[in-house]
Structure 1
Amino acid sequence: MKVVIVEDEIAASDNLSYLLHKIDPTIEILNVIDSVQGSIQYFSKSDEAELIFMDIHLADGISFEIFDKVKINTPIIFTTAYDQYALKAFKVNSVDYLLKPIDKEELSDAINKFKSAPEKEVTDSTSQMAGLLDLLKESQKTFKSSYLVHFKDELIPLKTNDISYFYIDTGMVKAVTFQNQSYTVDKKLEDIENELNPDLFFRINRQFIANREAVESMSFYFNGKLIVKTNPPSKERIVVSKAKSRAFKDWLNK
């Protein structure tokens, strides 16, 4: 079996090579590559490998970026340090992975799984990696932790965790804290939505973005809509459309 290893740590690649030869002395390691760019160059010219072992974090980037530049149909087993989000992504996309430090028995099981898999189960890795890259980028995205707002004659940082909801009031965006203090935010609601952690904030409708901790209850409205009660109470009725009601309930139920 012909194998390529993509790994930027010499000790890790040496250990993997050692374990592979212990498991099966006939395994031929075609190449050990330590970077995204090196991988792109290699796989652009060669498709001899029957199996690829690939680390996620390389010296010059994330290995998923390789699949933006080159199509790889060879089966891949990822090697990774523990990353709960990444592992969840792998399970969703049915990609095999091994946790570091690599265990010999788990490595052997992964190889046997590959050997016994029907040829028709070898899927297009490029499409899988595109989805994984999107998920990983989202998990690594940094979100806004505070906003500079006007308070009397000063500018003060207002922590996003202290904000109950954002809403539009006569064309201006206001941030209302859990202490029921209102501040003007010099930004569009659409821009604020993109800067907030979607696990903590939800765009309820065109006028409102609510903090999860601010939602006290909701009641049914006509035509499948919902009315949301917040803390502190909003002066305006907060209505969730029928189209958004399922997504809103799923968000609250996470």
Structure 2
Amino acid sequence: MKVIIVEDELAASEQLTYLINNIDPSIEILTVLDSVKSAIDYFSNPTEAVLVFMDIHLADGISFEIFEQVTINIPIIFTTAYDQYAIKAFKVNSIDYLLKPINEEELSSSIKKFKTKANIDTTSYDNIQQLVQLMKSKSQVFRTTFLVHQRDELIPVKVEDIAYFYIESSIIKAVTLKNQTYILDKKLEDIENELDPFKFHRVNRQVIVNKNAINNIKFYFNGKLILNVNPPFKERIVISKAKSSEIKEWINS
């Protein structure tokens, strides 16, 4: 079984390669492509690959641009760090995807799913074309304001003015750039889905951060990171080793 990886981040491609080899050493990775351009050049010619792992966000654009230039008639498993709208579109079009950081168990499940279906349906091209059109024709409308309770009144708080959201004793709180704290009657997961993923990111289970609130990142032990924000958070915002590459990629985007 021969596969191709389309991924612009070296650490991510090496991790995926490691996991694939760990799951099934007989799988051969033909090449790793790191851009839209290199993918277009590669897929313009015949390939022996039977499966592609493709990141959505590449160094020179979005991977969906590839399908506007070439036809890829082999199954594709997309990988994504934070594109909530794309995930919903994948589900609608029955296209397989893996959420970063990639979990070995989920990757193994996707590979098994491919092997099971390989003899029945060797192409997901039509569904991918539908997905490309869907991504072109629709755009996610993100929340711009939260209406919060303050004593005996309701106050509109602009999302762009919120530095971070966090959960404390099952209560969701929002802290503004001016260090004002409000309680929100919502789940952190729901808030995450309503925010623009290019501006806000859930850096760990407890905290969603506005990119504009980040002061710096400090290295921690065992490959972890500490995110320093303004206004300062009352505890250390620790980013796991598995999530560190994803967070750095998001901040650098």
TM-score, normalisation: structure 2: 0.53
The equivalent residue for 1:8 is 8
State the aligned residue count: 143
Which structure 2 segments of 5+ residues have no match? 145-253
Q: Post-superposition shift, 1:142?
A: 8.9
Taking a change above 3 Å as real, the CA distance of residues 104 and 142 of structure 1, as seen in their structure-2 partners, is closer
Counterpart of 1:71, as a letter, is T
- Cα distance between partner residues in 2 of 1:115 and 1:58: 27
In the alignment, structure 1 residue 135 sits paired with structure 2 residue 134: yes
1:157-236 mapped onto 2 (5 Å cutoff): none
- Cα distance between partner residues in 2 of 1:38 and 1:52: 14
Q: Post-superposition shift, 1:133?
A: 2.1
Counterpart of 1:31, as a letter, is T
The equivalent residue for 1:30 is 30
TM-score, normalisation: structure 1: 0.53
Partner SS for 1:26: coil
- Cα distance between partner residues in 1 of 2:124 and 2:137: 23
Partner SS for 1:32: strand
Partner SS for 1:31: strand
The equivalent residue for 1:117 is 117
Higher RCO (Cα < 8 Å, 6 or more apart): 2
Deviation beyond 4 Å, 4+ runs, structure 1:
138-143
Counterpart of 2:84, as a letter, is Q
1:89-128 residue CA offsets vs partner (Å, 9 max, x unmatched): 1011111000000000000000011111152323341x32
In the alignment, structure 1 residue 21 sits paired with structure 2 residue 24: no
Does the 8 Å contact 2:95/2:124 carry over to 1? no
Identity of aligned residues (%): 62
Does the 8 Å contact 1:7/1:55 carry over to 2? yes
- Cα distance between partner residues in 1 of 2:93 and 2:121: 13
Q: Post-superposition shift, 1:141?
A: 7.8
Partner SS for 1:22: helix
Q: Post-superposition shift, 1:130?
A: 2.6
Counterpart of 2:128, as a letter, is M
- Cα distance between partner residues in 2 of 1:98 and 1:6: 13
The equivalent residue for 1:83 is 83
Partner SS for 2:44: helix
Taking a change above 3 Å as real, the CA distance of residues 52 and 85 of structure 1, as seen in their structure-2 partners, is same
Partner SS for 2:49: coil
Aligned-residue RMSD, C-alpha = 2.1
Does the 8 Å contact 1:77/1:95 carry over to 2? yes
Taking a change above 3 Å as real, the CA distance of residues 118 and 24 of structure 1, as seen in their structure-2 partners, is closer
Partner SS for 2:65: helix
Counterpart of 1:129, as a letter, is I
